[in-house]
Amino acid sequence: MAASPFYSGKRLSFDGQLCTVRYYGEVKGTKGEWLGVEWDDPTRGKHSGEHGGFKYFACVSKIPTAGSFVRPTRKSDPPRSFVEALKAKYASESLEEDPDVEIVYVGKNRSVVSLAQQKKPIRISGKEAEEVGFDKIRKKLADLKELRIVILDGLCMSRPIASLRERESSMEHTWPDDLADIKGVCPKIIDLDLSRNLFEEWREIASICEQLDRLTSLRVDGNRFRDTYITEAERPRCQSAFSGIKSLKLENTLLPWEDMTNITHLFPSLTTFVASSNFFSTLTPYSLPTTITDLTLEDNTFTSLSSLEPLTTLPNLRRLILKQNKITDITAHGSPTPVFSSTLTEVDLSWNEISTWTFINSLPHVFPGLTSIRVSHNPLYQSLQAPDGKVLTAEDGYMLTVARLGQVKTLNYSPITAKERLNAESYYLSLIARELSFSSEDLSVQILASHPRYKELCEEYGEPVVKRSDNAINPNSLAARLVRLSVYLGESARHILRPTAETRKDGPVELEVPMSFTAYTLYGMVAKIFGLKPLKMKLVLETGDWMSAERRVDSVEDGDWDSESSDGESGDWKGVGKRVMREVEVVPGTRLLGTWVEGMEAVVRVEMR
């Protein structure tokens, strides 16, 4: 009796959609047999392997719509060999032979023209075109032996010639050792992409690579391997096949971490490894090769740095990419703080869920060699507040991160200049002093413990003076998040309202509003109080800061003015020596009030546009 063509782990493609067989048999309530498949694109399916309340198969993907049932009689896409896929991609004769058609080139631009219409030299953009016939085009494309970078992504490749399952009937336990089907066609490949195909066993990949002596980079993303186990007899052959490869990418393969590490140990020269989009939430205690210097684990589901503890044993790791995970803590479930090798200098933690400065403060201990970090797009930088409740900007967050990480030289891809560090650390020190001033003295030890660099910064810049007040407001209280506004009508507003305004509106109106109010909200509130149209108003913040009035010259050039001889009131100079208050217009928009107001009180003048 012939063996069934369907088995768990078999790779198929239907209309270009890849899937893996997880079940073959009957489904209760239906007639005939079905294939239970898990789609590589999990949004393509309907369920996770169940029907009528009964579970028929399990999907590797954690997305609950990866599974479907299809009839085994449904026609699947035919698989290709490596050479067939290579020719389809790089030597395809998609244009039919036509003696009346030629391709013309001008620089890098290509056009197809009819020879029947060609009575004179062809010009494109004023330049005479070089005529190239189809024979030359096909010859160039067909010269596969010169290819160095080959991308065979999504071409339905399989390699049964190297599959152990296909050879079980002959009692052979390895793939043939005399294969030369690839080496004779494209021997110069150095960069190969085999992503999203129909491979089922890792030895299929090895049987390709062993024929490419110059290969240094291999990408196998999106494949769903049924078997990655390599026997002890096969291991030396695999290591020889992968001996020259320094870069390996296994994104979205959904392999367990143990299988991943077993594969990497077949690459004796591996330095760069990418294992993104594999739903890893923690790493089991299996180590990667010590040769790895560059590691990418982007778009997984890690929640803490302690989940990456097996990576701390890598003695040569220099770059670690953890972008787009769910990292929010240094440790989890009482685990010890991980400490990575001092060789690790670059870390990317952007697009995670970091929300506390405690996390940032701990980074120098976790990464003692850290000099370059990326932490943008984390919740921490979306709701920053100063000790007095003032809302801080993204630029403030950048400065505070620079100040807290003294050894970092590059932040978010931007080199930190000496001036930026001076400004950042001075600013940070002033904020610590403000935090101390708003708290009772018995909390000083606790506050300073949350700023590990305080003592170091004091030695560098001097200890700041802390002035405590009996009326200081607790920065965590509601009062710290409110600002008192004294709003009054300016001359232009009083002129409009004089005929109809009530007497009480002539004096200032006292308001207490949250610092999180937007400018739009403040405009609406003031307009309602005074009976004005918001679009006709202008709110001017009187800062209380006085500055010298700008000098104006009527007939004397700027360079002719002698500051020591002019009294500011004679000759052609007007306003010299006068002082005016600095004013800031609160521009209508979504910007928060706290970005304009410094302190807990402010005076706002209402004018008309």
pTM over 0.75: no
Q: For residue 248, give the nearest of 202, 286, 285 by alpha carbon.
A: 202
Q: Which residues of 1-11 are buried (b: 16+ CB within 10 A; e: fewer)?
A: eeeeeeeeebb
Residue identified by tokens 């020596």 is: 577
CA of residue 501 relative to chain centroid, distance: 55
Q: For residue 415, give the nearest of 396, 398, 393, 392 by alpha carbon.
A: 398
440-445 contact pairs (CB < 8 A, 24+): 440/468, 441/468
pLDDT along the chain (609 residues), means of 10: 76 95 92 93 91 91 92 94 93 49 39 42 50 52 82 94 64 71 91 96 95 96 94 93 97 96 97 97 95 98 96 97 97 91 98 95 97 95 75 87 96 95 92 84 86 93 78 50 84 73 61 81 87 87 65 37 36 48 80 75 88
- How wide is the angle at C-alpha 350 spanned by C-alphas 345 and 353, nearest 5°? 120
Instruction: Report the SS3 class of residue 139.
Output: helix
Strand partners, 484: 512, 601
Output the pLDDT for position 551: 42
301 neighbors 279 (Cβ within 8 angstroms): yes
Output the pLDDT for position 388: 63
Output the pLDDT for position 119: 44
Output the pLDDT for position 80: 95
- How wide is the angle at C-alpha 193 spanned by C-alphas 192 and 197, nearest 5°? 135
**C-alpha distances in Å from residue 99, one per residue of 96, 116, 118, 129, 377:** 10, 10, 13, 19, 58
Output the pLDDT for position 108: 38
Tokens for 278?
């594999």
Output the pLDDT for position 121: 54
Longest dimension (CA), the chain: 116
First to last CA, the chain: 92
Q: For residue 246, give the nearest of 276, 266, 267, 265 by alpha carbon.
A: 267
Residue identified by tokens 């198929």 is: 12
Output the pLDDT for position 469: 59
Query: H or E stretch including 67?
Result: strand 67-70
Tokens for 585?
């217009």
Output the pLDDT for position 167: 56
Strand partners, 601: 484
